């Protein structure tokens, strides 16, 4: 099955938009100018509109509305602009009109995990917030490929894990001999991502499998990979908690287990993170054209999000 999946991936790669590839290439250069980045973004009117919407969203909005691409890029900054471009390109991979609604559900979950991973990294004081967002956004990208190209095999697996709550890696290994985490890392390798997010995708269900690191070596790739993997792991639990598919008892990995211990978050910090995530996901869904998300917007905003 893995051989079939990789052959399909090699013969028909999951496409990133031309503009998204240009943005990724430009932002890999720390000396890129905002105006050069603005010109690249302007080649895609749909992406341009999303950037302006994001710059005027509740999180970024200032006293004056942003009305130009250049203004949006300057307000968002290089890394956030890259994230919006990637999100728009990834969203385009999901098909409209899926009769089971599985792709729409997967898209919303992926976006929620990306947002949650970003908030977690920010709360932890990490400089890798946007890398955490992209790792979260793409953590289940292999599930999309499998749903679209091998529906007879993977749709029953996906539905089973949704309905029973069984660990997806266990079901996938038993049914296919590999996991979506393995295949997801391979997809990011083909997209020429850096090692840390690739490792985060591979280990987001078991972050402690990433090699150990020491605080005296902040440049070590393992350190960045562990942080991103733990951020995505915790974000995955938070996203499921918000959409009602995760347990709320005290045995939940939200308050116990290696990931909360890794960050050392207090209960108050976790509560604040969950509230901020619910608010920010609602904003992002509006930017990307899916405003009807009461789980993330009305219920939590009515109680006042920070």
Question: For the residues 94-117, what does the mean pLDDT come to?
Answer: 88
* Angle in degrees, 0-180, between the axes of helices 129-137 and 78-91, rounded to the nearest 10: 0
Q: What is the pLDDT of residue 122?
A: 94
Tell if the pTM clears 0.75, that is, is over it. Answer: yes
Residue ranges of domains in the chain, CATH in brackets: 2-12+96-258 (1.10.3210.10), 18-91 (no CATH)
Residue 111 scores a pLDDT above 90: yes
Q: What is the pLDDT of residue 306?
A: 37
134-153 burial, b at 16+ Cβ within 10 Å, e below that, comes to: bbbbbbbbbbbbbbbebeee
pLDDT top residue among 180 and 219: 180
Q: What is the pLDDT of residue 148?
A: 92
Q: What is the pLDDT of residue 217?
A: 44
Q: 259, 226 in Cβ contact below 8 A?
A: no
Q: What is the pLDDT of residue 218?
A: 43
Residue 14 scores a pLDDT above 60: yes
Question: For the residues 14-27, what does the mean pLDDT come to?
Answer: 86
Q: What is the pLDDT of residue 223?
A: 85
Range among 13-17, 33-37, 139-143, 220-224 rated most confident: 139-143
Residue 17 scores a pLDDT above 90: no
Mean pLDDT of all residues belonging to the chain: 84
pLDDT digits (tens, 9 = 90+) for 122-140: 999 999 999 999 999 999 9
Q: What is the pLDDT of residue 291?
A: 55
Q: How confident is the model at residue 279 (pLDDT cuts 50, 70, 90)?
A: confident
Question: For the residues 266-276, what does the mean pLDDT come to?
Answer: 89
């Amino acid at each position: 099955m893995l051989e079939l999946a990789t052959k399909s991936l090699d013969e028909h790669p999951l496409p990133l938009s031309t503009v998204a590839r240009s943005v990724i290439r430009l932002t890999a250069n720390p000396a890129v100018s905002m105006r050069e980045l603005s010109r690249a973004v302007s080649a895609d009117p749909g992406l341009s509109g999303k950037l302006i919407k994001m710059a005027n969203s509740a999180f970024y909005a200032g006293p004056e509305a942003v009305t130009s691409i250049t203004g949006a890029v300057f307000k968002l900054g290089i890394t956030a602009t890259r994230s919006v471009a990637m999100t728009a390109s990834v969203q385009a991979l999901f098909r409209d009109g899926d009769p089971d609604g599985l792709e729409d559900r997967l898209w919303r979950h992926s976006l929620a995990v990306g947002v949650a991973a970003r908030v977690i990294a920010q709360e932890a004081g990490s400089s890798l917030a946007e890398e955490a967002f992209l790792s979260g956004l793409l953590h289940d990208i292999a599930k999309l490929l499998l749903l679209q190209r091998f529906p007879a095999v993977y749709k029953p697996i996906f539905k089973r894990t949704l309905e029973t709550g069984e660990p997806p890696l266990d079901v996938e290994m038993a049914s296919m001999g590999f996991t979506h985490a393995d295949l997801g890392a391979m997809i990011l390798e083909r997209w020429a991502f850096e090692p840390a997010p690739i490792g985060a995708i591979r280990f987001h269900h078991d972050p402690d499998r990433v090699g150990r690191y020491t605080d005296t070596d902040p440049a070590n790739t393992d350190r960045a990979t562990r942080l991103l993997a733990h951020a995505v792991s915790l974000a995955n639990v938070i996203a499921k908690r918000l959409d009602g598919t995760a347990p709320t008892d005290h045995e939940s990995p939200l308050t116990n287990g290696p990931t909360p211990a890794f960050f050392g978050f207090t209960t108050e910090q976790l509560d604040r993170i969950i509230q901020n995530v619910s608010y920010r996901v609602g904003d992002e869904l509006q930017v990307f054209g899916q405003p009807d998300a009461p789980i993330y917007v009305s219920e939590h905003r009515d109680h006042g999000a920070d």
